[in-house]
Amino acid sequence: MSRASRREFVGYLASTAALAATTVVFGDEPRQSRDGLKEPVLRVSKRLEPAPPAEHPLDQAITIARDGLEQIQKSISDYSCLLVKQERIKGKLMPTEHMHAEIRNEKVENGAVRQPFSVYLRFLKPEDMSGRQVIFVKGANNGKLVGKEAKGARKFFGAVWLPPEGLLAMAGQRYPITDIGIENLVAKLIERGIRDKKNDPTGALTTSRIIPGAKINGRKCTVIEATHPEKKPWFDFYIARVFIDDELQVPIRYAAYSWPTQPGGKPLLEEAYTHLNIKLNIGLKDEDFDHKTKFRQQPA
């Protein structure tokens, strides 16, 4: 599906739901914190459109994801956003984390890396993480991330270098910093979709649907939802939802749930990543990922 046809399709679905909009919350109720940061507000339409006929229930989702990844790689060099993350670690749902993120996508020309994948994070919430800063640049610092704490005894250590997949860097995390970002998210969704198709070649254990008219903090989105009603060891999740911003044409939220612990019970949130206030192609430079200067800057 081309970008133009996908825009037409998404626009059509969104328009058909405009008169039927109501509020359904996928997760926690929205709440306003004292520092003005908002949890994602998710509003969807009651009218649900099934995915158009396809050879496999996941075919359309994979096609859209592949088109989206191609577009991201062609047109997005870098961006900043408010990243809101929540993960279940060893069976426990961890507190929601809020962080300011600046990310550069890797760019390769003639086989050479012109712009390395680069990440800067400044944690805002929860309170015990507030002020923490982390930088990772692929191919730099001997492959290590560099971090600096702002609270507790660790702040006196200054900058520290850690392997991204080491025990300290991975404490309380499902994935390493090397996996962060919209481009990596889409690539992993494609990989997961292809694997699920391989494990369920007939599509008998998979359903999918398109949900138009969703909103995240006022931004209109179309949701692609995939479900595996029957729990199998080769499926990672019961339900996975990807929220595609209708204007930006990039996924701004991904949420996945595991199977209910009891028949008729609610699915359990396993992981959710929401990108708010995205600003694309802001012209990030090497110095924006230099810890020697970045860690000294006062946050805006």
Least confident range from 6-15, 32-41, 54-63, 105-114: namely 6-15
At residue 152, the pLDDT reads 80
Both tokens of 292, joined, read 């020697």
Q: Answer yes or no: is pLDDT of 220 > 60.
A: yes
Would you call the peptide bond into 126 cis, given omega within 30 degrees of 0 as the criterion? Answer: yes
Domain boundaries, the chain: 3-73+180-272, 78-178+282-294
Residues 230-255, mean pLDDT to the nearest whole number:
96
The pTM of the whole model exceeds 0.85? no
Question: Do the beta carbons of residue 227 and residue 203 sit within 8 Å?
Answer: no
Looking at residue 58, what DSSP letter applies?
A: T
At residue 29, the pLDDT reads 37
Question: Do the beta carbons of residue 99 and residue 122 sit within 8 Å?
Answer: yes
At residue 85, the pLDDT reads 97
Q: Answer yes or no: is pLDDT of 290 > 70.
A: yes
Residues of the chain above pLDDT 70, percent:
81
Question: Do the beta carbons of residue 213 and residue 20 sit within 8 Å?
Answer: yes
Q: How far is CA 106 from CA 78, 114, 143, 184, in A?
A: 9, 8, 15, 10
**How high is the mean pLDDT of the chain?**
85
List of E strands, the chain: 42-43, 49-50, 78-89, 92-93, 97-104, 107-109, 112-115, 118-125, 133-137, 145-148, 160-162, 207-216, 219-227, 239-245, 251-258, 268-280
Least confident range from 10-14, 39-43, 209-213: namely 10-14
At residue 297, the pLDDT reads 75
SS (H, E, C) 205-258: CCEEEEEEEEEECCEEEEEEEEECCCCCCCCCCCEEEEEEECCCCCEEEEEEEE
Q: Three-class SS of residue 126? A: coil
Question: Do the beta carbons of residue 59 and residue 200 sit within 8 Å?
Answer: no
At residue 17, the pLDDT reads 35
Residues 291-300, mean pLDDT to the nearest whole number:
79
Q: What does the angle CA 154 – CA 155 – CA 157 come to, to the nearest 5 degrees? A: 70
Alpha-carbon span 41 to 27, nearest angstrom: 9
Q: Answer yes or no: is pLDDT of 4 > 60.
A: no
Question: Do the beta carbons of residue 104 and residue 77 sit within 8 Å?
Answer: yes
Alpha-carbon span 117 to 92, nearest angstrom: 31
Residues 225-245, mean pLDDT to the nearest whole number:
96
Q: In the structure, what pLDDT confidence band is assigned to residue 42 with cuts at 50, 70 and 90?
A: low
Q: Answer yes or no: is pLDDT of 79 > 80.
A: yes
**H/E run at residue 193:** helix 182-199
Q: What does the angle CA 29 – CA 256 – CA 56 come to, to the nearest 5 degrees? A: 130
